[in-house]
Amino acid sequence: MKAIVRDRYGSADLLRYADVPRPAVGPEQVLVRVRACSLNFGDRVALRGEPTVIRLAWGLRRPRVTVLGRDIAGTVVEAGAKVSRWQPGDEVFGEVDQRGFAEYVAAPADHLARVPAGVSFEQAATLPVAGSTALQALRLGGVTAGSRVLVNGASGGVGTFAVQLAADLGAQVTGVCSTRNADLVRSLGADVVVDYTREDFTRGDRSYDVIFDLAGGHGLAALRRVLAPGGVYLSSSGAGGRVLGPLPHLLKVTALGAVTRQRLRVVATRRDTADLDHLAGLIAAGRLSPVIERVRPLSETADALRALETDHARGKIVLIVPEPVQP
C-alpha cells in the first residue's frame, strides 16, 4: 500500500510517498481503508521532533513510527476476531496513534465512531483531534447560554470549532484572529471579532467568563486582567521554546491555578467516541460546519504540511486518499 513515510526528524522535505506493507489486524482492531485524513499541529510536532522533549516518548534519535497521521475516516475492510461492533463496509472515523497518512490503517475498534448519513469522509476526518479539543475545552470551562467566551486563535482548526460550538450553546463569543480571517470568524457565529494586528484584547475594557487560548502570545498577568473574577482560563497553545515547548507555560498555569480564585486550566484532550458521535450529529443536523481550507491528495502531504507551517491558520487541511491500485 501507499503511505507517507519519513525516516528521521526534520522538515516536510523528508516525506516520501512510498510503498509499505499493509498492516496486520490484531484481535481487537479493525483494518480501515482510509478515505480522508486531516492535518493537526501535532503532526508538525511529530515530523520535526520539536520540542525535543517529545523525543523521550517518540524516539530519541529517530522516530519509532515512520508514518504520521492521527485523524482518519474511511471504510472497515476487516475486523479482528474479538470485534463485534464493526463489520466490513461500515463507515467509521476516529483518532489513531499515528500511521494514518496511508491507504490502510489498523485501528483499535473502540477508538472509532460511525460516520452518520449526511456527513462526508472529509468532514468526519476533521473532528477527532480538533473537534474533540474544542468540545472538551468548552465543557471544562463550563460554557452555557450567556457566557462571555473569548477564543484566541479563532480561525484555526480548533478555534473554528470552538467559535461554532460556543455560539450553538448560546454564549456571547469574541473571536481573535488576523485581518484576513475576520469575516470567516464572524460568519461562524462570533458576536465580536478582534483583529490582533490592530488591537490587543488584553488591553481592552471587556472581561470574559472563559478565555480559550489557542494562540499564546500573551503573559498570564495580561490574560488574567481581562478574565472575570471566578472566570476560567483554558490553555491549549503549542507555543514555546525548541526544547521544552509549552511545558513551562503549562506548569505555570497549573501552579497558579491552585492558588487563585480565577480557575486556570490546561486542556488535555482525551479520546471519547461519545464526543465524536455528538460532533458528527451536529454536522448532520446542520448545526456545525467544519471549515476546510484545502483538500489535497495524500501524495501532496508534504506541500500540505508546509502550508500548515507557513500560512495563517484557517480551519483544517484535509487529505484525500485515492483508491489503492490493485496488483
Residue spans of the domains in the chain: they are: 2-126+290-320, 129-266
The distance from CA 245 to its chain's CA centroid, rounded to whole angstroms, is 18
Encode pLDDT of 126-152 as tens digits. Answer: 999 999 999 999 999 999 999 999 999
CA distance 126 to 158: 10
Residue type, 104: Y
Q: What percent of the chain has pLDDT over 70?
A: 96
According to DSSP, residue 313 is labeled: P
Cα 186 from chain centroid (whole Å) = 21
Residue count (the chain): 327
**166 pLDDT higher than 80:** yes
Residue 312, pLDDT > 70, answer no
Provide the pLDDT confidence category of residue 299 given band limits of 50, 70 and 90: very high
- The mean predicted confidence, pLDDT, of the chain is 93
Q: What is the CATH number of domain 129-266?
A: 3.40.50.720
- Closest of 111, 73, 69 to residue 92, by C-alpha: 73
pLDDT band at 65 (very low <50, low <70, confident <90, very high): very high
Look at residue 223 in the predicted model and tell me its pLDDT. Answer: 95
180 pLDDT above the threshold of 80: yes
Would you tell me how many other CB atoms lie within 10 Å of the CB of residue 168?
Answer: 14
β-bridge partners, 210: 149, 232
Three-state helix/strand/coil letters over 8-43: CCCCHHHCEEEECCCCCCCCCEEEEEEEEEECCHHH
Q: Is the pLDDT of residue 326 over 70?
A: no
Higher-confidence residue of 50 and 113: namely 113
- Angle, helices 157-168 vs 132-140, to 10°: value is 50
Radius of gyration, alpha carbons of the chain: 20
Residue whose C-alpha is closest to residue 264's, from 239, 235, 222, 229: 235
Q: Tens of pLDDT along 234-281? A: 999 767 777 877 777 777 777 777 668 889 999 999 999 999 999 999
H-helix segments, the chain = 41-48, 55-58, 121-125, 132-140, 157-168, 182-187, 220-225, 247-257, 273-284, 301-310
Identify the weakest region by mean pLDDT among 51-55, 79-83, 301-305: 51-55
pTM of the model: 0.94
327 has a pLDDT exceeding 70: no
CA 76/CA 244 separation, integer angstroms: 39
Architecture (CATH level 2) of domain 2-126+290-320: Alpha-Beta Complex (3.90)
pLDDT at 52: 86
